[in-house]
Amino acid sequence: MSVKDQINNIVIVGGGSAGWMTAAMLAKQLESKVSITLIESDTIGTVGVGEATIPPIKVFNRMLGIDENDFLKHCNGSIKLGISFENWPQKNHQYFHPFGRFAVDFDYIPFSYFWNKHRATGTDSNKNRPLQDYASAWHLAKNDKFSLPAKDAKSLFSGFDYAYHFDAGLYAKYLKGYSQKRGVKRQEGKVTQVDTNANNGFISSVTLASGQKITGDFFIDCSGISALLIDKTLGIEFIDWSKHLLCNQAIAVQTSHVKAINPYTRSIAKRSGWQWRIPLQTRMGNGSVHCSDFIDEQSAMDELMADVDGKLLTEPRVINFNVGRREKFWHKNCVAIGLSSGFLEPLESTSLHLIQRAIMRLVYLFPNKQCDEINTKLYNQQTIEEYEHIRDFIILHYKATKRDDSEFWKYCQHMPIPDSLQNQIELFSTHGHLDINAKDLFKQDNWLAVLTGQNILPKSVAPIMAYKQQIDLPRTMNSFYDMMEKTVKNLPNHEDYLKKNCLFQFDKM
Ligand SMILES: Cc1cc2nc3c(=O)[nH]c(=O)nc-3n(C[C@H](O)[C@H](O)[C@H](O)COP(=O)(O)OP(=O)(O)OC[C@H]3O[C@@H](n4cnc5c(N)ncnc54)[C@H](O)[C@@H]3O)c2cc1C
């Protein structure tokens, strides 16, 4: 590639989590050799939610060279070991989606096959233990404990994983500092005009309300739901998934803590949606996610406010959203990252992850000025697969309900679902097998947690188990459980862990 083909000048429109995560990673990966300008508007602000994450965020921070404790200290961060789903398959029911694996696989056969055989054929009193009882993340979570995974691969506590809860605004601020140190220029102002090149349709410049024109070789649309470049300028359509994922409104409010800071997110199913509780070090994030066709805003607000603890720290804020994705994410010389590219509701905390994946995909497929179509096509195809995979996993939570106490849940039980999800449910229901691809975000253990948690169980034992007679199942299963119970007693409390390693230091920002 000749030097004149190289991208020298990148413009990022938007300074929410998407904008600053992108700026930070590009500054690092391009080794500050490319001019990067990020435009953000204080008057427009950011969406201001996005507090729960999944384990791969650790990899993103590590790639940036960020120290975990420093990041948690500055972003009001706490630990997340998984999600407690309450009242989902039915009222007064709880299950946990733990991060990491269930116990250990034997001889390349998934642990769940053994668990299922014990459940189906055992005669001992422990055969009805749910699968989550064999996840060390669950043992830690239910006791409000945390310490880093054991380094000894033989320990049952080496197999759990964790992510974070944090203040997304502070994370953006943290990454802004990181980016600016590496040469990213921040430009305050509102973009009011976007110009394209008449010959090839590429974006050539954006103009601010002040009249200042900013040119670039490559543009990244991180403008949130306004999708200023990808939609308003390039006209890429939004594919709506509200037929399968009904929720379209959220109400967010922050309160003070009254109880222990749980190392997990709570997702509590309500009449027409669900409620989140996300504990940060100094406050609780609460919110309702619901479908406005089934509940009006005031009733949703009343329901939420009746179910928060502690003092109100903010006024409740209503956020309307559409669930779906762009038809394309990269078009011409523009990539959409963050809410401008699409949105899947926050049930499994996947949005920041989609941002992270988009950024890394852009890094691997980083173009020259021509932005060859073969490159953009691959980027788009991989992103579509990722979106659809996560979409299916989220739909499963709604579809697998047995609740019939409201019109919303009745609809969910009977709604059409994508063929890909239908196949997965049927496959699992038969012998407990699953169709997992190497690139999938949600792996065997994630699907197992939600399927078995929602009471979808295999009708029969996996046939391969007929050849695995040598293991004394009741004894083995009991020893896993007892060992986890015993080990967890000696581990530190989550709050003590935070105090010792990464106490929030707002004044030191
Ligand atoms: C209810 C809800 C809960 C969520 N919870 C989670 C969660 O738990 N975990 C998770 O991973 N994700 C969650 N998300 C998603 C997450 O909040 C977003 O994916 C993430 O914050 C990225 O947002 P963004 O940067 O794309 O957009 P925004 O934060 O909206 O930022 C857009 C930026 O563009 C700028 N901008 C817009 N127009 C212009 C213009 N004309 N000129 C200049 N600048 C402009 C704005 O000023 C702002 O800086 C949640 C989302 C919602 C709606």
126 assigned to some structural domain: yes
Specify whether 119 is located in the same domain as 31: no
Say how far apart CA 196 and CA 31 lie, in whole Å. Answer: 28
Q: Which atom of ligand 1 is nearest to the CA of 222?
A: 26
CATH number at residue 218: 3.50.50.60
Q: How large is the angle between the packed helices 444-453 and 111-121, nearest 10 degrees?
A: 30
Specify whether 22 is located in the same domain as 37: yes
Q: Is the CB of 424 under 6 A from ligand 1?
A: no
Among 320, 348, 379, the domain-final residue is 320
Strands 213-215 and 330-331 come out as unpaired
Q: Is the CB of 251 under 6 A from ligand 1?
A: no
Residue 1 has what pLDDT?
Answer: 66
pLDDT (tens digit per residue) in 225-279: 999 999 999 999 999 999 999 999 999 999 999 989 999 999 999 999 999 999 9
Q: Which of 12, 38, 49, 171 to mutate to test the pocket of ligand 1 (most atoms within 8 A of CB)?
A: 49
Smallest CA-to-CA distance from 328 within 433, 221, 251, 410 is with: 221
Q: Is the CB of 446 under 6 A from ligand 1?
A: no
Return the residue whose CA atom lies nearest to atom 43 of ligand 1. Answer: 190
Among 295, 320, 345, the domain-final residue is 320
Cβ count near 313 (within 10 Å): 13
Work out the average pLDDT over 113-137: 96
Residue 32 has what pLDDT?
Answer: 80
Specify whether 290 is located in the same domain as 189: no
Q: Which atom of ligand 1 is nearest to the CA of 341?
A: 26
Specify whether 234 is located in the same domain as 315: no
Residue 297 has what pLDDT?
Answer: 98
Cβ count near 461 (within 10 Å): 18
The 3-state DSSP class for residue 141 equals helix
Among 302, 320, 338, the domain-final residue is 320
pLDDT (tens digit per residue) in 137-177: 999 999 999 999 999 999 999 999 999 999 999 999 999 99
Specify whether 44 is located in the same domain as 189: yes
Q: Given pLDDT bands bounded at 50, 70 and 90, which one contains residue 50?
A: confident
Q: Is the CB of 224 under 6 A from ligand 1?
A: yes
Residue 3 has what pLDDT?
Answer: 77
95 assigned to some structural domain: no
Q: Which atom of ligand 1 is nearest to the CA of 250?
A: 1
Specify whether 393 is located in the same domain as 483: yes
Strands 284-290 and 273-279 come out as antiparallel
End-to-end Cα separation, the chain, in angstroms: 42
Work out the average pLDDT over 44-57: 94
Cβ count near 199 (within 10 Å): 6
Cα dihedral 273, 224, 318, 241, rounded to 10, equals -30
**Residue-wise over 404-422: b if at least 16 C-beta within 10 A, else e?**
eebebbeebeeeebeeebe
Say how far apart CA 15 and CA 36 lie, in whole Å. Answer: 13
Say how far apart CA 276 and CA 451 lie, in whole Å. Answer: 20
Helix residue ranges, H only, 78-185: 111-121, 136-142, 168-181
Q: Which atom of ligand 1 is nearest to the CA of 19?
A: 25
Cβ count near 281 (within 10 Å): 23
pLDDT (tens digit per residue) in 386-442: 999 999 999 999 999 999 999 999 999 999 999 999 999 999 999 999 999 999 999
Specify whether 201 is located in the same domain as 334: yes
257 assigned to some structural domain: yes
User: Which pair of tokens denotes residue 238?
Assistant: 């939004």
78 assigned to some structural domain: no
**Residue-wise over 155-176: b if at least 16 C-beta within 10 A, else e?**
ebbebbbbbbbbbbbbbbbbbb
Structural domains in the chain (count)? 3
Q: Given pLDDT bands bounded at 50, 70 and 90, which one contains residue 509?
A: very low
Tell me the residue range of the domain where 262 lies: 249-320
Specify whether 431 is located in the same domain as 443: yes
Using the predicted structure, report yes or no on whether residue 507 has a pLDDT greater than 50.
no
60 assigned to some structural domain: no
User: Of all helices (H) and strands (E), which one includes residue 290?
Assistant: strand 284-290
Smallest CA-to-CA distance from 283 within 144, 174, 168, 167 is with: 167
Specify whether 435 is located in the same domain as 480: yes
Say how far apart CA 437 and CA 416 lie, in whole Å. Answer: 24
Residue 13 has what pLDDT?
Answer: 98
Using the predicted structure, report yes or no on whether residue 98 has a pLDDT greater than 60.
yes
Q: Is the CB of 49 under 6 A from ligand 1?
A: yes
Q: Which atom of ligand 1 is nearest to the CA of 14?
A: 34
**Which residue has 């890394």 as its token pair?**
360
Specify whether 398 is located in the same domain as 481: yes
509 assigned to some structural domain: no
Work out the average pLDDT over 34-50: 94
88 assigned to some structural domain: no
Specify whether 459 is located in the same domain as 428: yes
Average pLDDT, the chain: 96
User: Which pair of tokens denotes residue 288?
Assistant: 């309702």
DSSP conformation class of 98: E
Say how far apart CA 327 and CA 385 lie, in whole Å. Answer: 12
314 assigned to some structural domain: yes
Burial of 36 (0-12, 13-18, 19+ CB in 10 A): buried
Integer CA distances (angstroms), 220 to 175, 177, 292, 333, 362, in order: 17, 20, 32, 8, 10
User: Which pair of tokens denotes residue 307?
Assistant: 């179910």
Specify whether 400 is located in the same domain as 471: yes
